A = this chain, B = another copy of it.
Amino acid sequence: MKGSSHIGVDIGGTHLRAALVDEEGGIDRHPVVKTAEQNDKRPEALLEKLVAACRALIRTAERAGRRVDAVGLSVAGKIDRTAGSVLFSPNIPWLNGYPLAGKLQETLDVSVAMDNDANAFAVGEAWKGAARGIPNWVGVTLGTGVGGALFLGGRLWTGDNLGFEGEIGHMIVDPAGPPCVCGLRGCLEAHASGSALCRGAREAIEAGRLTGGALFDLARSGGLTAEAVFHSAQSGDAAALALFERMGWALGLALASLFTVLGIRHAVIGGGVSAAWDRFIGPLHASLKKHSSMLDPETAEILHAKLGDDAALLGAARLAGLGSGTGERS
């Protein structure tokens, strides 16, 4: 055997990505598949897809003369690391309570770990991405929702192992702010997620601030997406630009409060919606400056994640490599 590889799997709401990852972070990707077929949303069906992807990657490893020691699963939601099951997933509710990691381990006879997708993102970015060499930082993923993770003292912070940690998306940035899917009001996620962009565009139409153009047409036809809001902002639409300004304002406020409490000054922001970086980073810095009293805001470093979808794959593989659900010193 030439060495050990791990399998990293990112189980998203719509797609399942899997890859073979070697000790140096080299990646051999399995073709992306759907997380579930339209008429078959069962944990057992997902397990079958996982087994198939892992077996294919194990064969790939064997052909290269390598062995697969462990599999790491990244899933959005509250995770019970010890049981290897999802306590609550907003994207894959039919998976709640199913001991996916244990079942996969039984079938493959290989050690399987499971962690939150934002934690996997952070471990990946710490290993090979934007956070290399930074001991203390806040990780933020901007997607349909807002995920988060903390790296403290060079390690993924896992708190009291309550099934969640780093959930910056559910910090309250404005108690009078808009409702959040979690049931609270004024969470960061309600200001700074893909969902918040879409809801904001619908509200702009209802309030008469958005009365025409591509975004208006999409909203009326039910085809509104975060990407559409982004394209409208790129073409100068004031209502769309205001939504990204609000996103930056909320991110800057949340990070200012966290930097004040943690006594740190680095954040790494990734996720699909972070592609709109140029639209929110200016307002973010302005808000960080406005809301910082202890930290000199000029010393804050807000970094754009480097690895895209590979961060979660690398992170999941890395987390599995350690077998304990905690990240290694970067």
A interface, CB within 8 angstroms of B:
78, 135-136, 148, 150, 152-153, 157-168, 170-176, 180, 182-184, 187, 253, 256-258, 260-265, 290-291, 293-295, 299
Q: A35 → chain B, closest Cβ, in Å?
A: 23
Q: A212 → chain B, closest Cβ, in Å?
A: 32
Q: Which of B152, B162, B180, B295 contacts A295 (CB 8 A)?
A: B162
Q: A180 → chain B, closest Cβ, in Å?
A: 8
The reply to whether A172 and B256 form a contact with Cβ atoms under 8 Å apart is yes
Name the B residues within 8 Å of A264 (CB-CB): 159-160, 162, 165
Q: How many copies does the complex hold?
A: 2
- Decide if the interface of chain A is mainly helix, strand, loop or mixed: loop
A136–B159 CA distance with the chains assembled, in angstroms? 7
Name the B residues within 8 Å of A176 (CB-CB): 174, 176
Q: Which of B166, B184, B261, B293 contacts A150 (CB 8 A)?
A: B261
The reply to whether B174 and A263 form a contact with Cβ atoms under 8 Å apart is no
CB contact under 8 A between A261 and B175, given known A136-B160, A152-B152, A293-B184: no
Name the B residues within 8 Å of A263 (CB-CB): 157-162, 164-167
Most B C-beta atoms less than 10 A away, residue of A165, A174, A260: A260
Most B C-beta atoms less than 10 A away, residue of A158, A171, A175, A176: A175
The reply to whether B260 and A170 form a contact with Cβ atoms under 8 Å apart is yes
Q: A262 → chain B, closest Cβ, in Å?
A: 5
Q: A11 → chain B, closest Cβ, in Å?
A: 20
The reply to whether B294 and A260 form a contact with Cβ atoms under 8 Å apart is no
Most B C-beta atoms less than 10 A away, residue of A159, A163, A166: A159
A2–B158 CA distance with the chains assembled, in angstroms? 43
The reply to whether B294 and A257 form a contact with Cβ atoms under 8 Å apart is no
The reply to whether B165 and A261 form a contact with Cβ atoms under 8 Å apart is yes
The reply to whether A172 and B257 form a contact with Cβ atoms under 8 Å apart is yes
A152–B159 CA distance with the chains assembled, in angstroms? 8
The reply to whether A257 and B171 form a contact with Cβ atoms under 8 Å apart is yes
A265–B175 CA distance with the chains assembled, in angstroms? 21
Q: A291 → chain B, closest Cβ, in Å?
A: 6
A160–B265 CA distance with the chains assembled, in angstroms? 8
